[in-house]
Structures are given as structure tokens and as C-alpha cells.
Structure 1
């Protein structure tokens, strides 16, 4: 791929732009940028295509106010087969985790639930003053997903990950950066530019060496990935049937605090 080459391709709600050795993969469904199986498949296709065409680093970003609010709650509880829907999402998530080149997520606004999982699938995250990283599953009444049981402790440490998961409390902007959940902190509106700058730095290193070291560093995560996703899905399916999950999801949709009864 020529260094000066720049083009953009779109599949559904996802675009791929190749600029030299950096690929920019963008979700385009603002403001929340929810995902489903097809959106994640398009992200996976874009990343794999970019790698095949010579990209050395990927910027994962979103259009509009927020990075990603995860899957729509109705997809988890209102579909004909919520387990099958979630399993299809996780199948595509595995493809994203298995990208061969580094990924930098530009997180403006919220990365919530599965959106946090998507951000944590990246190697690095860039935050800004209004970024919000939130594992809200306990406030919805069911188990975390998108392999956050693996990725979040790797990034912020076991105890901090447990605190985020058990309470559902968000880490915002500078607090996320201080906790190591974000690797760069940018001015408001400059999150993507900072992510591209980091991706260019990564792309400027010896590509074979970067790929080799990345494979070494992520081997433990990838070895455990599918088993972790399967366990998370089993627990999600079990808890979706509870009164607490119905309470939490309804309260979230109605923008009020839930009152859980432990059943």
C-alpha cells in the first residue's frame, strides 16, 4: 500500500479509511453507536482487510457524541432467542480480539457495557475530558460480557476491575487515565487525532517485530478468550431470567434508579 494512498469504504454502519500504514475503522450510528452482530462483523471485516492491504495499526473510533453504548437492551431480553443473538455477537468479537496488528480506540463520550468491552479489546485507549468508561452490568442485573472478566483486570488490576464491575460506577476522563484504563489523555474533541498519532507511532516501528511481540503479549488473553465468553454467556442467560434483570433493564430504559430484591 502506497504511503500516500487514502481511501474510504463503507459497509453498513462501519467505514474503513486507509491512510498509509494506518487504518481508521469508524462506527457510524450516532449518537450511541450501538452494535449488533452485523456491525461487529463489519468491524472485523474492515480490520482483517486493512491488515491484508498493509496496515500496521488500526484506529477504532465512532461518529458523534459517544464511542459505543454496547448492544441494545432489547436485543438481550426482547428477542426470540437472546442467547443466540449474544453468541453471534461474541463470535464476531473473537475475530476483533484476534486482529494481528495493534488497535487504538479513540473514546469520546461513553463506552458503556459491551461498548466498554469493545474498547478493552483494543491494545490502547485514548480518552478526553468527557470520556466515560462504565461496566454497568450490575446496575442492569446480569453478568458482564464481551470478555470484560478477562480484559478489565489486565488493564486496571484485579481489585479496581472488581470495584467497577460490582458497583457499575463509571470512570471518567482524567480518572480513567490515572487508573490506566486510558493510555493517552487528549483535549476535548482531539481524541481521534491523538489516537491516530499513537497509531502512526506504532506503525513506524518494525512491523514484523511489533506483530511478534504483540502475539507474545496477548497469548494468555487469546488462549482464555473463548472459554471466558462462553462462561459469561451462560451466566448472562441465567440472570436474564431473574426479576432483578427485568428491574434493572426497565429502570435503565426509564432513566431511574433500580431497586433490586435479589431474585
Structure 2
């Protein structure tokens, strides 16, 4: 992996650390998106990976978009079609890649998650926050709108009214408010953040990977699918699950009152 993203693989868990702390880990104007896509492709090709953690080096999770890149796009030297292409070939590839990644992803939010940084956290399946974390959907303060899928993701996590409040005011909320609003599931002391995220990742990784991956797909599809269609998909996935050695071992272990032996 190259300069922005540090890739660490331990056991069944991969930790991706945004590693530009001097610039507060921006997601545009650099190689961030390309490196995330490379990492996601690497994860998809490695069946040993069962959970992923995303975090930031330094004091910030991610400051979002690069101000320098915004200045370049608004200079008058860049056409509207070029800006559209920049978004479609740049930051907009990231939510699609993370959304379609079958391995569960945990955002370990160590500090400010601003603009696209908040949206990156929302692209993950689970979010754990340090007490030092703050969250802001701050695009309107710069006279722009969420261009990276935040307008689709955020309401599905915190509800439309709270998403509207965050989006229309651009105001920041602290970790406690984020927990109250269900934006995160846990708030922990800063020095316990990665340990807590790792514990959660290991709990995910301990389960049969085929079942976890299909369960994630059902949750994702359920965000936009009709109930009858989701039930039909669930039936198909359940056929696959019932015929696995992991399922047979889990049932046997339950009946024999013992811990199941991992097979997958």
C-alpha cells in the first residue's frame, strides 16, 4: 500500500489507517480514494478476511474534502463537466465500493469526522467513537452539498429530521450526542478505541464467514428493497446456509452442549 492508507492484516481482521495526520486525513486532492479501492479489492480477494476496521492517524478521523481541491474546482479554469467527472471518477466510487464489500466494516472514529469524513463513517456498517470524536455534515458552510452519498446514507442512520438538522446547519455534534442519535453504537475513552473496535471485529470474525457476508448483504439490500423481495432473497440465502458444514457443526454443538468447532 502506498502513502495515504496503511493496511495491516492480523488474523481475520484488516485495519485500514488513514495516514496523513498533518492534513487531518483528507479524502480528496490526493490518492485516498484510489488507495481505498485498492485495499477493498485486496480484501475481496482474500477469503481469510472476516472484518475490517477503518480509523485515522493523529487527532482526526478525516477532515473530508481538501480545501485546496475545492479552490481549484471553483477557480473558473475547470468546467462543470470536469467537476462532474471528478466526482464520478473520484470520491463517488468510494461509497459504492464500501457498500458492496461483503466483509463487515467498523469505523473507529478517533477524532473529528467532518463532511466527507462523516460520510465515510456512514459508509461503514458499524461506528465506534472516541470521546474526542466530533461529527459534522458541514458542506453547506462551504456553499456546497454532500456529493459523496451522504444525503442517502445519513438519513438511514439517524432519521430524516436529524439528518436535515446536521445537513442544513452544518453544525458539529460531539460523541455523546452522536450516541444519543444512533450515529454511533459506542463511545469509549480515546486510549480504548482501537482495542474496543478490535474486540468487536473479533466477535464478528468468530462467526461462519459465509453467514456473516450474506447477513450483511441482506441488511444492505433491505435499505431499498420491498419486504416480499427481501424475503425471497433471504430464502435463497438460507438454502445456501443450511447446506454448509458450519451450520451442521453449529447445530450438532448446540444439541451436544459444547462449543462449535470452526470449519470455514
Q: Please report the TM-score for the alignment, with normalisation by the length of structure 1.
A: 0.76
The one of 35, 48, 54 equivalent to 1:42 is 35
2:5 aligned residue: 14
Contact 2:99 2:220 in 1 (8 A): no
Shift of 1:205: 1.5
Distance 1:87 1:45 in 2: 17
Shift of 1:203: 0.9
Shift of 1:196: 1.4
Q: Secondary structure of 1:105's partner?
A: strand
Distance 2:132 2:199 in 1: 20
2:245 aligned residue: none
Count of residue pairs brought into register by the alignment: 214
Contact 1:43 1:96 in 2 (8 A): no
2:69 aligned residue: 75
- The Cα offsets for residues 202-252 of structure 1, whole Å up to 9 and x where unpaired, read as 1111211111111111015588xxxxxxxxxxxxxxxxxxxxxxxxxxxxx
Q: Secondary structure of 1:198's partner?
A: helix
Structure 1: any 5+ residue segments left out of the alignment?
1-9, 224-263
1:233 aligned residue: none
Contact 1:120 1:151 in 2 (8 A): yes
Q: Please report the TM-score for the alignment, with normalisation by the length of structure 2.
A: 0.76
Q: 5 Å matches for 1:56-95?
A: 56-79=50-73, 80=78, 81-89=82-90, 90-95=92-97
Distance 2:143 2:72 in 1: 15
Q: 5 Å matches for 1:1-263?
A: 10-31=1-22, 32-36=24-28, 38-53=31-46, 54-79=48-73, 80=78, 81-89=82-90, 90-221=92-223
Distance 2:210 2:159 in 1: 29
Structure 2: any 5+ residue segments left out of the alignment?
226-264
Distance 2:13 2:40 in 1: 11
Distance 2:124 2:170 in 1: 21
**Largest Rg, 1 or 2:** 2
2:255 aligned residue: none
Which stretches of structure 1, 4 residues or longer, exceed 4 Å deviation after superposition? Answer: 220-223
Q: Secondary structure of 1:119's partner?
A: helix
Q: Structure 1 pair 222/69, CA: closer, same or farther in 2 (3 Å)?
A: farther
Contact 1:105 1:126 in 2 (8 A): yes
Shift of 1:97: 2.2
Contact 1:75 1:82 in 2 (8 A): no
Q: Secondary structure of 2:21's partner?
A: coil
Shift of 1:52: 2.0
